Amino acid sequence: MRDVEARVLNAIDEAETVELLAETVRVPSVTGTDAESDLQHRFARLLTEAGLDVDVWKLDLPDLTAREGFPGTEAPRQEGYGVAAVTPGEGVPALALQGHVDVVPTGDLAKWQGSDPFAARISGDVLHGRGACDMKAGLVANLAVVRALKRAGVRLARPLAVHCVISEEDGGLGAFATLARGHTAEAAVITEPTSGAVITANAGALTFRLEVAGRAAHGATRYEGVNAIEVFWPVFEAIRRLEAERNRDVPELFGGNAMPYPIEVGTVRAGDWASTVPDLLVAEGRLGVRLDEDPADARAAFEEAVASVAHPWLRDNPVAVTWPGGQFASGRLPAGHALLDEVDRAVSDVAGRT
């Protein structure tokens, strides 16, 4: 480990960092809520205090939606803000540290210890709370880096950028908007939780919606109807078979993940009356996109699998497949990129140090 790196590590205030993480977790920044914007403004202030030049802007949602490559969204959103900060210096930043402020909904509150997912409860050396891992710890770590650089008096040869983005959980609008704003870097490290592993590739993900038609009838004469739930079951089984096929050859780049391209149905809604045969089922989920696969090819494979289901009702009443939400491709760091050696060495140095 170089002396300057040791100085920076020694300048990190762990107690301060943990307290900031707790404060950040206490902001209920669920995707699409006002708290998402509130947290963006907090990080803008903190980055300004750390000595960075900060750009805060209100996203032009209609313009972004109309742009080529728009990744889609799922959460209703009336406004959103971007935050991009750069250390003093000339030229394009050599590196950007990026993280997202939004979190997914909390689910059943009764299943949370203490029943408050935003309490930031600390037990031993573990902080519990919605978003603590994914990925407010990463956001706070990024801020800790620039604070430590300032305290250690380190002058960088080239600028370092910090990007705080919204809407990662429902498609990636925030990152898309940041790039559209012109904020780039030669390379980027996204401080997502990886259990300490250096991950250089990520699958894509496409949100799908399935509409399965049935035929309504009174429950007392259900044999006169067609239950959309029953029709959906072989479709779901076909999706599971497709998932197995698409995960047969798993690249080592995914660090032992046995299923890097999952296909999951996350929501299912059917029927509107307890004693009526449901005539419509709507299911939504996500389709994993393989490395280097064109998202259009992934959509086609999924649609073909759904269309191939052998069910007599589906011959004349095919499942309607649409793609309403987040749509993004896979990505990877090119083999031999200099950043990989630097990050591997840094992880090794810090792991050995601790």
Count of beta carbons in the 10 Å neighbourhood of residue 301: 16
Mean pLDDT value across residues 204-209:
95
Range of the domain at 227: 202-328
**What is the pLDDT at residue 354?**
44
Three-class secondary structure assignment of 265-313: EEEEEECCCCCECCCEEEEEEEEEECCCCCHHHHHHHHHHHHHCCCCHH
Lowest mean pLDDT of 57-61, 76-80, 113-117, 289-293, name the range. 113-117
For residue 254, the one-letter residue type is: F
Are 157 and 28 contained in the same domain?
yes
Are 30 and 107 contained in the same domain?
yes
Are 105 and 246 contained in the same domain?
no
Residue 349 pLDDT level (bands cut at 50, 70, 90) = confident
How many domains does one find in the chain?
2
Beta strand 204-213 with 320-322 is: antiparallel
Cβ-proximal residues to 20 (8 Å cutoff; 6+ apart), any chain: 46, 140, 143, 144
pLDDT in tens, 44-99: 999 999 999 999 999 999 999 999 989 888 888 889 999 999 999 999 999 999 99
Are 166 and 178 contained in the same domain?
yes
CATH of the domain at 251: 3.30.70.360
- Report residue 121 as tokens: 């409860």
Residue 353 pLDDT level (bands cut at 50, 70, 90) = low
pLDDT in tens, 310-343: 999 999 999 999 999 888 899 999 888 989 998 9
